[in-house]
């Protein structure tokens, strides 16, 4: 097998996951913050600020999941049964949230239950994604190349912690998005919640960063053995500096910088996870090369992706450029 094909596909899937986390993270964050808006027109502005983007953002989830299915079928066949329940909950929550996005406007003024569905679906989808992440970090039981664990192996205190940390992280992305894209009481809401959520994210990242090497020996060796430590210590240091800058930018009234800083914070956390798990796709048993599809299949699919990826990137840039600027009350996609 050509060694570089699994690496290319791992890079593509990793990029798709990072794009999904950042892009869909902020619109899920709007749903997480939704119950804290007191007035009807404030909730309308919050939904209108993400209405043109939310469905396109989820395209990256399809690319990441579909890429895993076709490029690493053995990993897909193990990861899916290991996380069937949180996966199903996540998908149902995303569907419920998507339906409420459309039906809430049709049901006005009797849309109370659609408001609950939007907030609940957003929060549940974010929590499920965090639980899956935590389960993967802890590792999946594998025997003879197949999933050998139980249906609830993923349900641990660590995965619950990662679920809550992802909810706080998406909430932070949503709060800084509101600070950047809205005005008046909604922007004030974002600026009020952003520092609190940032502290929650830092606490979550700190506990996970201590808990993970203490419970997983290979991760401790990756980070704290020499000379690795000399190269990796700047990551947590830069994370703290970026967090300080986000707080400072919020205090001084910057519009875009807190949101961009939060994206950098997410990418630093993502880099930490990648460093901890590479080259395992099913930690701690199977690597990229162990689970890769036949080279002919990967090349065939790679040719299709070369056409598909620029289209997705182009569409994403076009939509964000078209609907740029602040969302005022009464204005929006709907």
Burial 52-74 (b: 16+ CB within 10 A, else e): bbbebbbbbbebbbbbbebbbeb
pLDDT of residue 202: 95
Q: How confident is residue 330, by pLDDT bands cut at 50, 70 and 90?
A: low
- Of 82, 26, 78, 73, nearest to 52 by C-alpha is 26
Q: What is the pLDDT of residues 16-54, one digit of tens each?
A: 999 999 998 999 999 999 999 988 889 999 999 998 888
Q: What is the pLDDT of residues 83-119, one digit of tens each?
A: 999 999 999 999 999 999 888 888 777 888 999 999 9
Quick check: 309 and 299 in contact, CB under 8 A? Answer: no
- Average pLDDT for the chain: 90
What is the helix (H) or strand (E) element at residue 147, kind and residue range? strand 146-147
| pTM (2 d.p.) | 0.93
| Pair of tokens at residue 316 | 């994403």
| Pair of tokens at residue 236 | 């947590």
pLDDT of residue 2: 74
pLDDT of residue 204: 94
| Boundaries of every domain in the chain | 3-322
pLDDT of residue 1: 55
Which residue, chain included where needed, has tokens 């996609």?
333
Using a pLDDT cut of 70, give the percent of the chain over it. 98
Q: How far apart are CA 151 and CA 198, in angstroms?
A: 33
Q: How far apart are CA 99 and CA 305, in angstroms?
A: 29
pLDDT of residue 203: 96
Q: How confident is residue 334, by pLDDT bands cut at 50, 70 and 90?
A: low
Q: How far apart are CA 235 and CA 246, in angstroms?
A: 16
């Amino acid at each position: 097998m050509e060694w570089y094909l699994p690496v290319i596909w791992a890079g593509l899937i990793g990029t798709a996951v990072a794009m999904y986390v950042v892009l869909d993270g902020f619109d899920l964050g709007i749903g997480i913050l939704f119950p804290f808006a007191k007035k009807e027109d404030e909730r309308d502005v919050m939904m209108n600020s993400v209405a043109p983007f939310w469905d396109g953002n989820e395209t990256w989830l399809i690319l990441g999941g579909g890429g895993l299915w076709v490029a690493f079928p053995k990993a897909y066949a193990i990861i899916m049964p290991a996380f069937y329940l949180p996966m199903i909950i996540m998908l149902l929550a995303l569907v419920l949230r998507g339906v409420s996005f459309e039906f809430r406007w049709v049901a006005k003024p009797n849309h109370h239950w659609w408001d609950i569905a939007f907030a609940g679906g957003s929060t549940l989808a974010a929590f499920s994604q965090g639980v899956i992440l935590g389960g993967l970090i802890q590792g999946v039981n594998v025997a003879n190349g197949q999933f050998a664990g139980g249906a609830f192996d993923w349900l641990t205190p660590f995965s619950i912690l990662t679920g809550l940390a992802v909810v706080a992280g998406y909430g932070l992305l949503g709060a800084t998005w509101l600070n950047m894209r809205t005005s008046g009481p909604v922007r004030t809401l974002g600026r009020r919640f952003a520092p609190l959520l940032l502290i929650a994210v830092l606490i979550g990242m700190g506990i996970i960063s201590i808990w993970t090497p203490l419970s997983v020996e290979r991760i401790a060796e990756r980070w704290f053995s020499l000379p690795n430590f000399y190269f990796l210590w700047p990551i947590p240091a830069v994370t703290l500096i970026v967090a300080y800058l986000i707080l400072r930018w919020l205090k001084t009234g910057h519009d875009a910088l807190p949101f961009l800083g939060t994206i950098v914070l997410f990418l630093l956390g993502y880099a930490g996870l990648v460093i901890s798990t590479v080259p395992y796709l099913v930690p701690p048993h199977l690597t990229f090369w162990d689970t890769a599809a036949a080279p002919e299949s990967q090349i065939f699919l790679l040719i299709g992706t070369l056409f598909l990826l620029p289209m997705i990137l182009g569409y994403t840039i076009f939509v964000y450029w078209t609907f740029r600027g602040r969302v005022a009350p009464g204005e929006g996609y709907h």
